[in-house]
Structures are given as structure tokens and as C-alpha cells.
Amino acid sequence: MLSAMLTQHGEYAAEPMRAAIIKTKIRRALADGKHRTSKQRERMTVQSILIVEDEAAIADGIAYALRTEGFSAQHVMLGEAALATLRQEPIQLVILDVGLPDMSGFEVCRRLRQFSDVPVIFLTARSDEIDRVVGLEIGADDYVTKPFSPRELVARVRVILRRLGKSANGVSPGAKPPSTFELRSKEARIAYHGALLELTRYEYLLLKTLLEHPGHVLSRAQLMDRVWAGAEDTLERTVDAHVKSLRAKLRAIDAAADPIQTHRGMGYSIKLA
């Protein structure tokens, strides 16, 4: 079931809008930080996520991915139940389906905003719903379109909590967050914000090479030597094409950050947060 949901969603056209939403929400979090009560701040150290979704299979997939990553996950199927839970329990983030049986996710969010600033990630099924998430001041922090990868959703949860935690009180809540990138050389895998990236061989080698020299500008020729060593007929535009596909994969997890920097006429470098 999980693998069936691991469909790469292709909403790149919507990415600038997503970045704009995230920027707005960070500003709001900065402004709201001073209004949090000490009790709310204390609660931020326990990362409990509420899933509001009437399709049990989808909710189970998200809950499984969250628990695997060390979060606590609760699930309700109705908007009323979500509001009741949010009034009574310390919840750090809400994953909110737009299409619920008793009221729309938008209505849940509107009512929620009357008593809470808890971050909300919408699950949307249709592009016209995305327009509403982006176009209206309904207080969403991010959105994910169905079908989606639960693992990618969890990475976004982590990004939002990390940002809000930092902006609210200057330090991250709870345990030390994972570093932005984690190079697992033995497995030949790289994790970004705690989510393992699905990389091709050359994407992996390219990102690994950049990560091994943080802040250093590597020319296309240097990258070709190190990444494509032994390969015949590598062209400079091969490097550019791989940088482009890598950026898309990183943006799918964190739309606002762009850690791979282009140095015109010189090459590329990676910036670690």
C-alpha cells in the first residue's frame, strides 16, 4: 500500500506559490511567537501530529510514516472531532484533508484559527482546491496534493516544525534536529531533512561530492572528473541537467530552501544550513 502511494507528485508549477505561502507563514510565526503562552511553548517539545482524514488507508500510511520518524500520531475522521481534539490536547501540527464528510477542511481551519495558531498542512485532491489554499487567507502553512508520498509529507512536517520552533524562541524545540543533509556512504543514500532521497547513481555522486566540500565552488570540469570519472563523453550540460533534477528533488521536500548555488561561469557549491 505504501509503495502504491509513493507517486512523485508533479506540482512544480505550484512551487513558487508554495514558497510564498511558507515565507508568509514564517513571518506570521515570528510575529506570533511572543503571544505564545509558556504552556504552549512547553508543549512544543512533544511533537504530536493530528491527522484529519476520512480515508483510513491514507491516514494509516501517514501515521505509519510519522511514527517511524519518531512523531506521535493521532487520527480522526471528522472535522468536529478534529476541533474537539485540538481544544483539548497539545498538538504541534495538523495534517488536514480538504474533503471531509461533515465539513470542509477549509471550514475546520477557519474555526481552528479562532483559538489556535497550530501549523496546518492541507491534503488536497484537486487543482481547484490548491487555488483556494493559495488564494484565500485560510491560514495554511503548506499543502500536499494527492497522491503523495507519506515520507515526503513527513519531511515537510519536519521542515515546518523546525522553522516555527526556531522563529518562535530562537532555538529548535526538543531534541537536536537532524542536520539538513545526512550522507550514508555505506548505503550509498543521502537523507534530506530526515527523508531518504531517491537518487540516480550520478545524482547521488554529484550531491555527495558537493556535500564533501560545503561552501566550495566546484567547476563543471571538476565535477565531471569526480562524479563521471571513467565515463566516456561527459558533457558540461550533463552536469547542469543533473543539478536541475537534484534541485527538483530537494525542492519537493523544502520548497523555500535552495541549497545548491550556481556560480555563473564558475560552477556549483552547496550551502549547509
Residues contacting residue 96 through CB under 8 Å, at least 6 positions apart: 52, 82, 105, 108, 109, 120, 121, 122, 123
User: 124 vs 234, which CB is nearer to Ca ion?
Assistant: 124
Cell numbers standing for residue 95: 495534517
User: 124 vs 149, which CB is nearer to Ca ion?
Assistant: 124
User: 97 vs 152, which CB is nearer to Ca ion?
Assistant: 97
Task: Yes or no: say if 242 and 250 are a contact pair by the CB < 8 Å rule.
Answer: no
Closest separation between CB of residue 140 and Ca ion, Å? 16
Hey, which residues does 51 pair with through a beta bridge? 75, 95
The interface region with Ca ion, picked from 53-61, 81-89, 109-117, 264-272 by CB under 5 A, is 53-61
The residue from 33, 90, 99, 177 that contacts Ca ion (CB under 5 A) is 99
User: 59 vs 243, which CB is nearer to Ca ion?
Assistant: 59
Closest separation between CB of residue 18 and Ca ion, Å? 21
Hey, which residues does 122 pair with through a beta bridge? 96, 143
User: 11 vs 54, which CB is nearer to Ca ion?
Assistant: 54
The residue from 62, 69, 97, 165 that contacts Ca ion (CB under 5 A) is 97
Q: Which residue is nearest to Ca ion (CB)?
A: 99
In angstroms, how far is the first alpha carbon of the chain from the final one?
A: 34
The interface region with Ca ion, picked from 31-39, 51-59, 164-172, 180-188 by CB under 5 A, is 51-59
The interface region with Ca ion, picked from 20-28, 82-90, 98-106, 143-151 by CB under 5 A, is 98-106
**Nearest alpha-carbon partner for 223 in 272, 271, 270, 268:** 268
Task: Yes or no: say if 269 and 261 are a contact pair by the CB < 8 Å rule.
Answer: yes
φ, ψ at 108 (rounded to 5°)? -55, -45
The residue from 54, 60, 182, 198 that contacts Ca ion (CB under 5 A) is 54
Distance, CA of 78 to CA of 81 (rounded, Å): 5
* Contact residues for Ca ion, defined by CB under 5 A: 54, 97, 99
